[in-house]
Structure 1
Amino acid sequence: MTDTRMTFDGGFIMVPWDQFDEAVEWYGEKMGWTLIGRGEGPPVGRKAFFKMPGTGQANLKTFESDLSHFTSEDYHEGTCRFCFRTANLDQTLDYFDRQGVTCSTPVKMPDRTRSADIFAFGNVRLTLSEDKKLEGKFPESRVIQYAAKPLWLGVSDLDASIEWYSRICGWTSSNKNFQDRGFALMREAWDFAWLEKVDSEQLSKKANPGARLYFQIKEQKDLYKKNEWLKEQGIEVSDIVGERWKGFHFYDPDGNRLNVWSYY
């Protein structure tokens, strides 16, 4: 079962049910995204789909109190970041600051890019990664597409985490070595996930952030097999929810939440 392919496939940004319409308007206006569709109904509630100006689709999803996969209970951002790309980080942060959006101080990543967090609608944390090659191409958009490395995880032990993600998710360690700076890169088809060594007090037993990156397993029969296999490894795994679309989540040893879906 460890060879079941899990590929990055976007994700959900969670919003409260009773503020869904307000959130749709907020993300369209503030991010510079184009609304391309909405959906509503059981079993996975209200959704909105946005075309980002570069590439990719961003998805809003309401919390659902009766489904453990979508509940707002135990909401906690933790150290699992879902990362998006912006052309000029300073200008983007200045814009959001003027809009009353809380922003963090930019940090320099080991690959010499810069990143910062913003706390978007409902105080959901989104992480912005600067890509100067996009400067001037999308002047009406602040958040252009998914980041080149869309996942950023805080972990207590880099070597142990590299081994765990290799064994459980089938990822491999990048040829680029940043461990002397407290980072490691994991790859599936490309270098897409940062692991960062953080102090243990920054980690939580279990985090349920508002911005939730998902991995796709194409065949639903393999989704079920992966869910059972993870349980056999002693990993905390949620029930599978959905009908045509199906999804679940599980946790790494540091409490980072990983989401999986299938829709075929």
Structure 2
Amino acid sequence: MTAIQTAKTSAVPDLYYDGGEIDVLWDNHDPAIDWYVTHMGWEVRRKELWWPDQRIRKGRMTHLGYGTWLNSVITAQRLPFHYAERGSVDPHIRWCWRTKQLQKTHDRFTANGIRVTDIYTGPDGKSYFDFWATAEGTRLTAEGDDTIRGAGFKPSCTRIGVRDLRLAGKWYNEFVGMNMVEDRSEDGYLVMSLLENHSESGRSLWILEQLAADAYTGQIDGPIRPLTLIKERDSFFAYHRWLTDNGVECGDVGGHLEKGRVLFHFYDPDGNRFNVSYC
């Protein structure tokens, strides 16, 4: 049985899903923009030079819609939030994007030399394939949905692989505040939800899915970072302290500690990284 922390007290603030960030190497930032515009139909909504942490030398970010940002920094040290592993094991976190005519999309990606998996049936019975974006090989997941309007890729759920569904569901409820939407543990998954910052429904869906018995479960800091937001600054810092006090391994707080945006990440018992911000 998988060991799991049990919270001493309940001090989880409201966490709002707020889109996500894709860490991109500095020299690849402009080619990455072109890749996502060309192959996923996203549009450049905003470009900024920014300093997400006092210790960086240069920073830039590009908003491609749906709360999705490409972020690049130049730094002389490994910062607590702004780094990513590449060329290693892919995380068990799948950031999913709905698109029409999944087979045609798969064929188009294949014809353009993009690395893809075969189309497979996900734990929820929907059709998916994983693909590796840009020259950096950043994995995203396409989900078939012929009911959506327009072309391109639209937001969907986030899938997280875990060793023990029952324990993981309890952990995400106690430490993240996720609510159970549907218990399909007999079929190998749970559907959980969090508040969402910008959506008509006001809720984001997270699927916890059963990992294979031999799956790697060490900590992985991948370039894909679905992001949650805490709207009160004091609550952000209190949550970081509470997680640490309850034995959850957290990265140090990064960003602008005196005033402005701050971020930290922590890991679930299966090594999956969870990202939190205040701005």
The TM-score, its normalising length taken from structure 2, stands at 0.84
Verify: 1:33 aligned to 2:42, yes or no: yes
Partner of 1:169: 176
SS of residue paired to 1:247: strand
Contact 1:158 1:195 in 2 (8 A): yes
Partner of 1:88: 101
Of 99-108 and 109-118, more deviation after overlay is shown by 109-118
SS of residue paired to 1:184: strand
SS of residue paired to 2:155: strand
Task: Indicate the percent of aligned positions where both proteins have the same amino acid.
Answer: 28
Contact 2:165 2:189 in 1 (8 A): yes
Verify: 1:58 aligned to 2:80, yes or no: no
SS of residue paired to 1:132: coil
For residues 44-76 of structure 1, what are the alpha-carbon distances to aligned partners after superposition, in whole Å with 9 as ceiling and x for unaligned? 52111113xxxx232111255531211135764
Verify: 1:198 aligned to 2:208, yes or no: no
Give how far 1:224 is off: 0.8
Bigger share in helix: 1
Deviation >4 Å, runs of 4+:
73-76
For residues 158-185 of structure 1, what are the alpha-carbon distances to aligned partners after superposition, in whole Å with 9 as ceiling and x for unaligned? 11101101110111222x3321111111
Contact 1:79 1:202 in 2 (8 A): no
**Aligned pairs, how many?**
251
SS of residue paired to 1:129: strand
CA separation in 2, counterparts of 1:220 and 1:93?
A: 43
The TM-score, its normalising length taken from structure 1, stands at 0.88
Verify: 1:180 aligned to 2:193, yes or no: no
What is the letter of the counterpart of residue 18 of structure 1? D
SS of residue paired to 1:214: strand
For residues 104-151 of structure 1, what are the alpha-carbon distances to aligned partners after superposition, in whole Å with 9 as ceiling and x for unaligned? 1122234432111110011000011111102xx324x2x2x211x2x1
User: Which runs of 5 or more structure 1 residues have no equivalent in the other structure?
Assistant: none
What is the letter of the counterpart of residue 99 of structure 1? N
User: Which runs of 5 or more structure 2 residues have no equivalent in the other structure?
Assistant: 1-9, 54-58, 196-202
SS of residue paired to 2:147: helix
CA separation in 1, counterparts of 2:73 and 2:189?
A: 32
Contact 1:78 1:203 in 2 (8 A): no
> Residue 68 of structure 1 is aligned with which of 74, 80, 91?
80
Give how far 1:218 is off: 0.9
Give how far 1:203 is off: 2.7
Contact 2:23 2:83 in 1 (8 A): no
CA separation in 1, counterparts of 2:101 and 2:81?
A: 35
Partner of 2:150: 138
